[in-house]
Amino acid sequence: MATVTDILIQPPEGANADWTVPQDWASYTPDEHAIWDTLFARQAKLLPGRASNAYLRGLDVLRLSKPGIPDFKELSDRLMQLTGWQVVAVPGLVPDDVFFDHMANRRFVAGNFIRRADQLDYLQEPDVFHDVFGHVPMLADPVFADYLVAYGQGGQRAFGLGGLKYLSRLYWYTVEFGLIAEPEGLRIYGAGIVSSASESLFALDDPSPNRIGFDLARVMRTEYRIDDFQQNYFVIPSFDELLRVTVETDFAPLYQTLMAKPDIAIAAILPDDLVFTQGTQDYARAKGELAILT
């Protein structure tokens, strides 16, 4: 059934029917390339010893350290050889069905614009730095690459099952804000963390947030916030295990079960949680947001 939003939301003028646009790499200004270089240098200094091995390997094999905003054509050529993925440009956020269709077909949609020099630390819409620096290195990992394809297919299925709310939380707490337990310690792999200087530190070192072992149903019941640091991070044991549990679980009955249960408040800790660190929640408390604790 078409909803009002479906009818109103059309690709903007100049975009293709699938919402893609040319990246138009030649039109980036020297200042825009310099913003990429500044952000890159800052993160490249922070991430060794903090980002997962898979992420750091991706950064390396895709040669993302080359100065300037990457050319999606060049990037897609390399990625295609490694895992069959491509990077395609879009003007901004796209509707869920468009996003899932691209993903299920190994096309990662990336914003083609870059933040302004006065927005280095925070920006609401995902730009080319978040999308490419944050997400694309993980696409060079064969297991994670397959996880995202399965996620895209799962998204297409979720529409008919009323499961989008639950599936979005899975994306949020893995693809965007996931942590992984590696032999050397906890590491970050979520794109929202690795593309942010302040959250790269906060997610691993700050005493405020909870760090809890990943459990599929638990994650899908947990609310999240989009406008500040997370109060809760979920830790996977490995990408193989993340792929295995999500692919082997039929989400249709799981959505039914979840619909019958209440959501879990952001910072809550449950008796069955595997707690890596119980957060002090001082960060949230300082902002007067303690009410969300249960």
| Binding of Fe ion by 87 (CB under 5 A) | no
The token duo for 85 is 């993925």
Which span sits near ligand PHE by CB under 6 A: 14-22, 24-32, 113-121, 247-255?
247-255
SS3 37: helix
| Owner of token pair 């499961």 | 163
CB of 64 to ligand PHE, least distance (A): 25
Q: Given its phi and psi angles, is residue 47 left (phi above 0), alpha (psi -120 to 50 degrees) or beta?
A: alpha
Binder to ligand PHE among 42, 157, 165, 225 (CB under 6 A)?
Answer: 157
**Rounded to the nearest whole angstrom, what is the least distance from the CB of residue 197 to Fe ion in the complex?**
16
SS3 105: coil
**How many CB atoms are closer than 10 A to CB 46?**
16
Rule CB under 6 A: say whether 151 interacts with ligand PHE.
yes
When binding is defined by CB under 6 A, the residue of 15, 82, 150, 292 that contacts ligand PHE is: 150
Q: State yes or no: residue 250 binds ligand PHE (CB under 6 A).
A: yes
Report yes or no: 234 and 178 within 8 Å, Cβ to Cβ: yes
Residue among 154, 178, 190, 209 that touches ligand PHE (CB under 6 A): 154
CB of 24 closer than 8 Å to CB of 112:
yes
| Candidate list 191, 194, 264, 267; residue touching Fe ion; CB under 5 A | 191
Closest by CA to 165, choosing from 216, 220, 96, is 220
Question: Which residues of this chain interact with Fe ion, rule CB under 5 A?
Answer: 126, 191
Binding interface with ligand PHE (CB under 6 A): 150-151, 154, 157, 170, 246-247, 249-251
